[in-house]
Amino acid sequence: MIKKLSFFVSILLFGSVFGQKDKEQLQKQNSDLKKQISSINASLNQTKKESRLSIAYLNAVNQKINLREKVYNNTQKEKRFIEDDIYKRQLEINKNNRELTVLRKNYAEILVKAYKTKGVQNKVTFILSSKNLGQALTRIEYLKRYSEYQDKKAAEITNKAAEIKRNIELKKRSVTEKDNLLLSQKKDLVTIQAERQQKQELLDEFKKNEAQLTAELRQKQAQSKELEKQIRNIIAEEIRLAKAKEEAERKAEAERKRLAEIAARKEKERIEAENRARMAAAEAERKRAEAELKKANELAAKRADDERRVAESNRAAERKAAAEKATRDAEALAKQKAEQLATAKANEIAVNKRTEDAKDQAEKKVMKSYGVGSVVGSNFAENKGRMSFPVERGSVTHRFGRQPHPVFKNIVEENIGIKIAVAPGTRARCVFPGVVSSIQAINGSRTVVVKHGNYFTVYSNLSSTSVRANQQVSAGTTIGEIGSDFDGTVTLDFQVWNGTNPVDPLGWVSY
């Protein structure tokens, strides 16, 4: 039974290691969530000064309630970890108490035995009654070990008692921690209920002002349609100009190519003329080498024939030696001429290769000088999902496409971009390198269109701009300061266009 219980306690101890890590992680999450709640509260206080009846304000309230509920749920989990810890501590205390009882019982038996054999005289008699010196030494060692054993058992009792005391303190601390956590939970519940009531009051206020807000919203939608129409016209004109420029560039490219081909052909003809002169000289050298080789071979054959005749006629040895020397000289000359011929042929091959290389280089040089084939591409599409957000910090209040209004269910919004609520004074920044295509004053605010090859990014509802038309901009370049929307919130309208089609910006930027 004791073994089974010890195994169960060991399992709990093993699980407590991971439970402690989970508990610490929950505490860290709650700390981060509370920081976010504090930031939202600051934002709400600022937004409330501008306009309380805004979707940005309502979204912030919803977000804060969600964060509060996450904190509460994490606290519930943390409470369970603490309860498990209290239960585990109690099991350890019970186990330690049982072990302490056994230790005290064993120690009592030891003390009884020691009492029966107590006294120096008994110990001395026990040693002196030994039969020999070896037995005496053994009994001395036994008495020493027995004394150490008593001390060890006493120390075990002391340590076990200290362990029980420590576990009791840990249990008390966990109980206190749980009590504090319960108080915190009660406060969190009260806060959540108050914030839910605040949200309901806000919704009631929306309903109360529904007519006015609906009229303003429809007016804003009409303005958005007008803005969309003007942006479409701007982009359509940009695409028209780009196509016209592309067609003009295509014709210019064709003309440059034609002129380059003429110039390249003339350059190649010049190179070929020079090559013909070099080839004629090389050919003459080769023919001369061939003629000399032929003469050398004929001379070598003649000398060999003379040597043979001299040998046959049994003439003087000196004449035979002279003939042999003449043969060797003739053969050496023939070998030299053969090497010269091989060199001449290799020279012809090298001249041909240099000529072809020179013609290729000349053609490339001429084409480059005429600007043929120098088209620069765009990699906007390759960076989809990795571009920076158009503001340093902000929350998306309106998403792309058809979206039901969060309060007035009879209104459906058609958004060609997203709306991002930001703090006053926030500046919009370019998400990708490009060229400022257009800056327009529309409906009392400014709109900047940036071209990225076949793609466009649009930054609307700006109170001021920091760029100019045709300016080259990089990722992170400040576009302008963001202005207030119709409901008083500071909001950036951000769009991404693929040609004449708007696409969801959240699929392109990292958020």
Confidence (pLDDT) at 401: 84
pLDDT tens readout for residues 189-245: 777 787 777 777 777 777 776 666 677 677 777 777 777 788 888 888 888 887 787
Angle between helices 133-208 and 120-128 (to 10 degrees): 130
pLDDT tens readout for residues 385-433: 889 899 998 888 888 988 776 666 666 778 889 999 888 899 999 999 9
pLDDT band at 315 (very low <50, low <70, confident <90, very high): low
pLDDT band at 249 (very low <50, low <70, confident <90, very high): confident
Q: Which residue has the higher pLDDT, 7 or 98?
A: 98
CA distances from 285 to 107, 290, 328, 330, 342 (A): 120, 9, 25, 21, 11
Confidence (pLDDT) at 375: 36
Confidence (pLDDT) at 8: 46
Confidence (pLDDT) at 127: 58
The Cα–Cα gap between 231 and 237 comes to: 10
Confidence (pLDDT) at 74: 79
The predicted model gives 44-62 an average pLDDT of 64
Cβ–Cβ under 8 Å, residues 156 and 103? yes
Among residues of the chain, what percentage have pLDDT more than 70? 70
Nearest-CA neighbor of 496 among 403, 395, 394, 385?
385
Cβ–Cβ under 8 Å, residues 450 and 456? yes
Confidence (pLDDT) at 389: 94
What is the reported pTM?
0.49
Question: Would you say residue 342 has pLDDT above 50?
Answer: yes
Question: Would you say residue 248 has pLDDT above 50?
Answer: yes
Cβ–Cβ under 8 Å, residues 423 and 60? no
Cβ–Cβ under 8 Å, residues 367 and 489? no
